[in-house]
Copies of this chain bind each other. A is one copy, B any other.
Amino acid sequence: MISHDDHLARILAAAPAPRVERLAVSGGSLLGRVLAADVRSAVELPAFTNSAMDGYAVHSADVNEPCELPVVGDIAAGDTRSLSCEPGSTWRIMTGAPMPEGADAVVPVELTDGGVERVRFEAAATPGNHIRHAGEDVRVGDLLLPRGTHVAPHHVAVLASSGVAQVDVVARPRVVVVSTGDELRAAGSELAHGQIHDSNGPMLAALVEAAGAQLVEQVHLPDDARAVSQLLERAVESADVVITTGGVSAGAFDVVKEALIDAGDVTFDKVAMQPGKPQGFGLLGERRVPVFTLPGNPMSTLVSFHVFVLPTLDAMGGRPPRECERAVVERGWTSPPGRAQFARVAVRRDGSGRLVVHPNSRQGSHHLGELAEANALALVPADVDVVQADDELDIQMLLTKE
């Protein structure tokens, strides 16, 4: 048996480098994507000196006490004229409108009588007040967003306001999901004795999407090695990653193993973990596409995805490894000797900000009933057989999607 760390290291060493694609800033597709390069500003912001208030642009020297001035006209936001303000006069000006040449202050409308032809100022103007100066926010060449930024809505605002129309992002890995097994039927179908509903297929499809990757296809195949081979041959032509479940154990009908054992670069291992012991990984086809063959028990699939597939999708997608936090055990449990256990647990933050772990009571690889209460996996090291209250463990949150 090899350790899960060694198995993962071997996978990550073989995973292909991220691909780059160009996306428009508008249109919504940029949200949640990862920038492949630093984005610097080609412009200064504001691009022109403008008013921060609705009010009147003045020479402040003209308004050092309450007084009245003639209004030359209006300057609205979006006014493209090049205007100037002569001493002894004022322009009515709107928020965001370009300051007329010569004026050095804006008096807010609230401090005037709001006049249109002549205006009365109730108080003195302060030089520079309520003016946004060209370039005070962003200068040409400033770093707007660093490479690796995971684009949030406020980042979209930064890009759009700086006139950036397109950016380079890391392409989302395209993933094909294959669940195998004669016993599987689609969700909601009638079942005969001995049959079960396929939960791995829909779960993996959701995991792929929640990981920020792109699901190309999710298929179910019977226990037929030729069908598996044909599907894989087709999938590796366009997919970046293939994930199979089932058919890799010690049974007489383990068709995924049968289909791949002679395919060359796929290795089947026993990994010292529970659940998830029988694992396969390799590179298939001319494009050397990573193929994960995960065990078929739903909990084994869930754990294997988080431990092996997710870090690979993150690396291929230009994302940093997810943080592993430490959490304190509330109530102990037992763990199989000699194997790392990935226990389903509910993690919450207590009053003092400490993460606290409460285990699902049943940890069998087929136990799903309590899974709704779990939100994380807790890693019990291979040399620990009994987890005790107040122990500290590494935890990894289960994937969710906003």
Chain A at the B interface: SS class: loop
Contacts A152-B399, A154-B398, A209-B28 given; does A54 touch B249 at CB 8 Å? yes
Q: B160–A402 contact, CB under 8 A?
A: no
Q: Is A388 engaged at the interface, CB distance under 8 Å to the other chain?
A: no
Q: How far is the CB of A312 from chain B (nearest CB, A)?
A: 16
Q: Does residue A170 face the partner (Cβ distance < 8 Å to B)?
A: no
A177 → chain B closest CB, angstroms: 11
Name the contact of A203 in the complex, choosing from B146, B154, B252 (C-beta under 8 A).
Answer: B154
> Do A372 and B158 have beta carbons less than 8 Å apart?
yes
Closest to A195 in B: B78
A334 touches B (CB below 8 Å): no
| A163 contact set on B, CB distance < 8 A | 187-189, 191, 197
Contacts of A302 in B (CB 8 A): 153-154, 157
Residue among A82, A144, A188, A302 facing the most chain B CB atoms (10 A cut-off): A188
Least Cβ–Cβ distance between A371 and chain B, in angstroms:
5
A264 interface residue, CB < 8 Å from B? no
Q: Is the CB of A209 within 8 A of B31?
A: yes
Q: Residue of B at shortest CB range from A215?
A: B28
- Is A45 positioned at the interface, with any CB of B under 8 Å from its CB? yes
The stretch of A58-66, A89-97, A236-244, A279-287 that contacts the partner chain: A89-97
Task: Indicate whether A205 reaches chain B with its CB closer than 8 angstroms.
Answer: yes
B206 in contact with A188 (CB, 8 Å): no
C-beta contact mask, A121-161 vs B, less than 8 Å → 1, else 0?
00000000000100001100010111001101111111111
Q: Which of B25, B144, B150, B353 contacts A187 (CB 8 A)?
A: B25
Give the residue of B45, B203, B364 whose beta carbon is less than 8 angstroms from that of A157: B203
Report which of B149, B203, B223 forms a contact with A78, defined as CB distance below 8 A.
B223
Interface: A14 (CB within 8 A): no
Nearest chain B CB to A53's CB is how many angstroms away? 8
Closest chain B residue, CB of each to CB of A301 = B157
Give the distance to chain B from A356, nearest Cβ to Cβ, in Å.
Answer: 11
Residue A5 at the chain B interface, CB threshold 8 Å: no
Assess the A368–B250 pair: CB atoms within 8 A. Answer: no
- Please state if B46 and A366 are interface contacts (CB–CB under 8 Å): yes
User: How close is A206's CB to chain B, nearest CB, in angstroms?
Assistant: 4
Q: How large is the interface on A (under 10, 10 to 19, 20 to 34, 35 or more residues)?
A: 35 or more
Chain A 36-49 near chain B by CB (<8 Å), digits 1 or 0: 00000000011110
Are A367 and B48 in contact, CB atoms less than 8 angstroms apart?
no
A387 close to chain B: CB less than 8 A? no
With A95-B251, A145-B372, A250-B54 in contact, do A78 and B152 touch (Cβ < 8 Å)?
no
Contact A164 B137 (CB under 8 A): no
Report B-chain residues with C-beta under 8 Å of the C-beta of A267.
none
For the complex, is A313 an interface residue (Cβ under 8 Å from B)?
no
Is A110 in contact with chain B by the CB < 8 A criterion?
yes
Q: Does A80 contact B (CB under 8 A)?
A: yes
Q: Are the CB atoms of B78 and A206 closer together than 8 Å?
A: no
Interchain residue pairs with CB less than 8 A apart (25): A25-B202, A26-B202, A31-B206, A31-B209, A54-B252, A76-B183, A76-B252, A80-B194, A95-B249, A96-B183, A97-B194, A137-B364, A156-B202, A156-B203, A158-B199, A158-B368, A159-B187, A160-B187, A160-B198, A163-B197, A165-B187, A166-B188, A353-B353, A353-B354, A401-B402
Known: A76-B253, A95-B296, A166-B188. 18 other contacts (CB 8 A): A31-B206, A31-B401, A46-B196, A77-B181, A77-B194, A79-B194, A145-B372, A152-B210, A160-B187, A160-B198, A160-B199, A160-B202, A161-B196, A161-B197, A161-B298, A163-B187, A349-B353, A401-B402
